[in-house]
Amino acid sequence: MKRVRCATYEGVDAKVVDVESTLTKGLPSFSIVGMASTAITESKERVKSALLSNDFSFPPKRITFLLAPSELAKSGSQFDLSMAVLILLHDSAEDFYEWFVFGELGLDGSVKENIQLYPLILSLANQGLISKAIVPYESLQKLSKIPNVSFYGVKTLNEAVDILKNQENHQPSIAQSEIAYPFYELTGEKYYYVKEYEEDFIDVKGQEVAKRAALIAAAGFHNIIFEGSPGCGKSMIASRLRYILPPMTASEILDVAKLEVLEGYEPTFKPRRSFTNPHHSSTSASIFGGGSHKAKIGEVGLANNGILFFDELPHFSKGVLESLREPMQDGKIRISRVNSKVEYPAKFLFVGAMNPCPCGNLLDSHKECRCSDLEIQRYKNRLSDPFLDRIDLNVVMQNVNAEDKPSFSSKEMHKMVVEAHIFAKQRGQESLNAVMKDNEIQKYCPMDEEAKNTLEMAITRFGLSFRSIKKVQKVARTIADLEKSQIISQKHILEAISYRRR
């Protein structure tokens, strides 16, 4: 028996698959067992043709392949190359189990790229399960971004066989390439950023309170809701927020690239966080992921390490809004079906935009609101208190005036966010402020006496929940970081409280 390793998907994570082969005496046959999909069973014809068109003889034996573990459903054409090399090397005395072999075979024996290959290998690398692999040559440029893995690129089946026969004579095809963007290094970790602002805050005139809140939300990754009249700039600010978010680590950049591939896009490896904007008519399955047989990732999972923007927030269904509470709190989402149970990371910055009433004119000083008190109350009641308790910043937008002027540009705001990020990292803090654990709040959120007294008064006056108290402390920590203050003072607490929903 000979074996190599390959992989398949289970949700968004890759699972290692042992490809085992036996060639025994008996009537010639070719069978694949182990819950293989149609794409894998079709590989029998591709493998036969690839061998015969390259002057190899197809063994007149009973050929059996086992894809283990047998209870795991496998899919994808990346198993072609591993099965072909095992047939050709069945008489070899060497063991190839330490090798991962990926590639789809053409009928002429050429090795082709598989669109699933990059996220598959990235997931294995993030789990520390892969050290060296034979891959299609045309995939090398993308795969070289993945750290700690040696890649051997091959164009044909013959080249793959030669590498496994003469392992000591072959070196990895190319060295690992660095991410080609500016970075700074703190405590041994590199943080990458990009100074490109396709949409600029300089275009937003007035709305100083909302821009200040957007700056705080970006610096600490705090959930935020903008409330205001139609056309006052809610969506403008939300769309520009992604350009001033904190720098990214290499692993975060690779994760974003993996999600881009899963969405069918070519990965850019740019240190820019994702931005997803589902429509309010979207189904729950499209937002959270799902599927009756094979769970797929949804908009919430695609927003991991980035922004999830809900425009016209109250128009989303009650079920969607209430289901959003779990990932907002835990940073992950679980999909349970009869056939599968999958858990996705979902650490996102939630941004919501809403009108103050159904007609939108309640806060407008120039237009009359056409809504009754009952209609306004029903509109507000679409958002439950448990949902709103998970929002860090609530902003009421100002009226638009002809005298409004632009103030800060995205470049200036991004610089402030980066400086606050460096300030937080220098004190030893690992996570962003919005996702600090209770022990981290105790350690990194020291307050002076006036700040403590002010917070105690706010707890009594506004009846803050435990979650709200922690969120006030986290927002105050971000405000202090923007001012480069180690101690949270009274003014920081007061500003943080001003953003709480009354």
**Average pLDDT score over residue span 317-328:** 93
User: What pLDDT score does 15 carry?
Assistant: 92
Burial class (CB in 10 A: 0-12, 13-18, 19+), 469: middle
* 455 close to 468: Cβ distance less than 8 angstroms: no
Categorise residue 297: left if φ over 0, alpha if ψ from -120 to 50, beta otherwise: beta
Q: What share of the chain is helix, strand, coil (3-state, %, to 5)?
A: 40, 20, 40
User: Is residue 98 domain-shared with residue 239, that is, in the same domain?
Assistant: no
User: Is residue 379 domain-shared with residue 302, that is, in the same domain?
Assistant: yes
User: Is residue 163 domain-shared with residue 271, that is, in the same domain?
Assistant: no
Q: Look at residue 139 and tell me if it is in a domain.
A: yes
Q: For residue 87, is pLDDT > 90?
A: yes
Categorise residue 243: left if φ over 0, alpha if ψ from -120 to 50, beta otherwise: alpha
pTM, whole model, 2 decimals?
Answer: 0.86
User: Is residue 16 domain-shared with residue 139, that is, in the same domain?
Assistant: yes
Q: Look at residue 56 and tell me if it is in a domain.
A: yes
**Average pLDDT score over residue span 373-383:** 93
User: What pLDDT score does 291 carry?
Assistant: 66
Q: Look at residue 430 and tell me if it is in a domain.
A: no
Give the tens place of pLDDT for each residue, 418-473. 999 999 999 989 899 999 999 999 999 999 999 999 999 999 999 899 999 999 99
Q: For residue 264, is pLDDT > 80?
A: no
User: Is residue 161 domain-shared with residue 196, that is, in the same domain?
Assistant: no
| Rounded Cα distance, 60 and 30, in Å | 10
Residue 47: count other Cβ atoms within 10 Å of its Cβ: 28
Q: For residue 96, is pLDDT > 80?
A: yes
User: Is residue 153 domain-shared with residue 279, that is, in the same domain?
Assistant: no
End-of-domain residue from the set 137, 169, 201: 169
Length of the chain equals 502
User: Is residue 440 domain-shared with residue 317, that is, in the same domain?
Assistant: no
Domain containing 363 equals 189-410
Q: For residue 315, what are its two tokens?
A: 């128009």
| Rounded Cα distance, 350 and 366, in Å | 31
User: What pLDDT score does 128 carry?
Assistant: 86
| Rounded Cα distance, 218 and 238, in Å | 10
Q: Which residues pair with 343 in a beta bridge?
A: 334
Q: Check which CATH number belongs to the domain holding 38 and give it.
A: 3.30.230.10
User: Is residue 81 domain-shared with residue 156, that is, in the same domain?
Assistant: yes
* 127 close to 35: Cβ distance less than 8 angstroms: no
What rounded mean pLDDT belongs to the chain? 90
User: What pLDDT score does 273 carry?
Assistant: 94
Q: Look at residue 65 and tell me if it is in a domain.
A: yes
Q: Look at residue 422 and tell me if it is in a domain.
A: no
Domain count, the chain: 3
Phi, psi angle pair for 149, to nearest 5°: -130, 130
Q: Look at residue 252 and tell me if it is in a domain.
A: yes
* 479 close to 460: Cβ distance less than 8 angstroms: no
User: Is residue 398 domain-shared with residue 462, that is, in the same domain?
Assistant: no
Q: For residue 385, is pLDDT > 70?
A: yes
Give the tens place of pLDDT for each residue, 129-151. 999 999 999 999 888 888 888 99
Q: Check which CATH number belongs to the domain holding 339 and give it.
A: 3.40.50.300
User: Is residue 244 domain-shared with residue 314, that is, in the same domain?
Assistant: yes
User: What pLDDT score does 144 carry?
Assistant: 84
Q: Look at residue 431 and tell me if it is in a domain.
A: no
User: What pLDDT score does 471 carry?
Assistant: 95
| Rounded Cα distance, 351 and 462, in Å | 24
CB within 8 Å of 407: residues ≥ 6 apart: 208, 211
| Rounded Cα distance, 303 and 120, in Å | 19
Give the tens place of pLDDT for each residue, 165-183. 998 888 888 766 678 889 9
Question: Half-sphere exposure of 110 toward its Cβ, with a 13 Å CA cutoff?
Answer: 8
End-of-domain residue from the set 169, 204, 219: 169
Q: Look at residue 123 and tell me if it is in a domain.
A: yes
User: Is residue 478 domain-shared with residue 354, that is, in the same domain?
Assistant: no
End-of-domain residue from the set 395, 410, 425: 410
Q: What residue spans of 283-400 are helical by DSSP H? A: 284-288, 299-302, 318-323, 325-330, 373-380, 385-388
Question: Half-sphere exposure of 374 toward its Cβ, with a 13 Å CA cutoff?
Answer: 0
Residue 164: count other Cβ atoms within 10 Å of its Cβ: 20
Q: Check which CATH number belongs to the domain holding 441 and give it.
A: 1.10.8
User: Is residue 362 domain-shared with residue 494, that is, in the same domain?
Assistant: no
Give the tens place of pLDDT for each residue, 27-67. 889 999 998 988 898 999 999 999 988 878 888 899 999 99
